[in-house]
Chain A
Amino acid sequence: MKFKDYYEALGVERTATHADIKKAYRKLAHKYHPDVSADPNSEAKFKDIAEAYATLKDPEKREAYDNLGKHPAGEPFTPPPDWQQHFHTGEAGLDDVDLADLFSAFGRTGGRSQRRQSFPVPGQDYEIVAPVTLEQIYNGEEIELSAELPEYDANGLAHRVARTFRITIPKAAANGQRLRLASKGGPGFNGGRPGDLYVSLALQPHPLYRPDGRDLYIDLPLAPWEAVLGASVHVPTLAGTVELTVKPGTTAGQKLRLAKRGLASADGSVGALYAIVRIEVPKTVGAREHELLEQLAAASNFNPRKHFA
């Protein structure tokens, strides 16, 4: 088992009062709570903070924690022998048990003062993030997920076990959408219902497409002469390449719509793919190109800045 420094996590001294601990927790929760923070790393940070507070706010758990002594955070350590006797772990020991799970089991298994909860305690919900690509959503693919989830032994002690799930992404799925797996979370105690497992989809950035709802946007680079003269260009879509006609006189920023080339909606409709025109110019030109451009400049009366006058 690895030691965790709960006082360090909350930024308080080991002699801190209950009020100090509560104040430190509230301050850090405002900063790192995953529902209010924009920092993607805040969830892991808040987990540490909440875990530390859950133990240190309870006088009995705090006393038990203090009796473990002070060790460097992350250093393997062995709890006193009476802890193993208390949790009836036998030879299995507590090596694969997380310190947080040990303290959360205190209330259920009696703790040192044999305090035992008798009311129904619902099982814990868990959430895992599934990175998905646009292609996986578009095709409604099946993906495999792995997560370490706790499984409880006969003494109510959680042991982290690697589990793998297969889920099918619906074609109408969106970034942040969740799948609820009923009763796949932690077990309930004293008749409480089991917790659920939630899978949250995290859409990965795509090198070509930018989604907006069920529509997709792609940049369409054109050479100046293609924009002026018109052209037939190949545009990649999630369903394969299509040929797009660019009309003569197309300008930068113009949106060319390809109907039903976006993502599917739950109601059966399909979004569009919008190609946003960009006019690209060559950074260097050869002698012949230079000569032709000089001729064009001399022959043209086009003035893009005439509204300045």
Chain B
Amino acid sequence: MSAPLSDSIWLNEVDLCPLAHLAEVSGLSIEEIEDLVDTDVIKPVEAGSQTPMFQLRYVVTVKTARRLRDDFELDRQGLALALSLLQRIDELQAEIHATKARLGRPR
């Protein structure tokens, strides 16, 4: 069966969603999502806004948070710490990737 997909959305840095959407798709509580905002794991587009909006790419982050919470039985502090460390690893890997691209292919 082959079906064209209309009910689909790319999780990018352009489209936005409210905090409640992140909670709904991840299964995390509002309080758990707020913890991730407080620790800068996810950042609203406009800091201090009464109805903060988030880039849709954070759906991937909050789903990862849910998996880590469940699979490792992490508490809220441990979860925020684990995600911060994973983000630093991602950033370092991106830098390594960029450096390799600029340096050229090994002979």
Contacts and interface: CB of A to CB of B under 8 A. Distances in A.
A266 B101 contact: no
Given A180-B11, A182-B9, A267-B14, A219 B105 contact: yes
Contact of A266 (B13, B102, B104): B13
Contacts of A267: 14
Contacts of A198: 63
A166 B3 CA distance: 7
Interface residues of B, number: 33
A262 to B, nearest CB: 11
Interface string B58-82: 0110011001100110000000000
Interface stretch (A169-177, A233-241, A287-295): A169-177
B92 to A, nearest CB: 12
Contacts of A165: 2-3, 5
Contacts of B68: 33, 35
Which range holds the interface residue count of chain A?
35 or more
Choose among B14, B60, B64, B71 the residue with the greatest number of A CB atoms under 10 Å from its CB.
B71
B8 A182 contact: yes
Interface in A144-199: 144, 163-167, 170, 172-173, 177-184, 193, 196, 198
A279 B12 CA distance: 40
A266 B68 CA distance: 30
Contacts of B101: 210-212, 215, 217
Contacts of A182: 7-9
B2 A276 contact: no
B25 interface: yes
A177 B54 CA distance: 16
Given A196-B25, A219-B104, A167 B11 contact: no
A108 interface: no
B8 A179 contact: yes
B27 interface: yes
A164 B7 contact: no
B89 to A, nearest CB: 9
A64 interface: no
Given A178-B11, A196-B25, A276 B71 contact: no
B11 A179 contact: yes
27 contacts: A29-B72, A36-B86, A122-B27, A166-B3, A166-B5, A172-B12, A173-B10, A177-B57, A178-B10, A178-B11, A178-B60, A180-B8, A181-B5, A181-B7, A183-B7, A198-B63, A210-B100, A210-B101, A211-B101, A212-B98, A212-B102, A217-B102, A217-B104, A219-B105, A255-B102, A276-B102, A278-B104
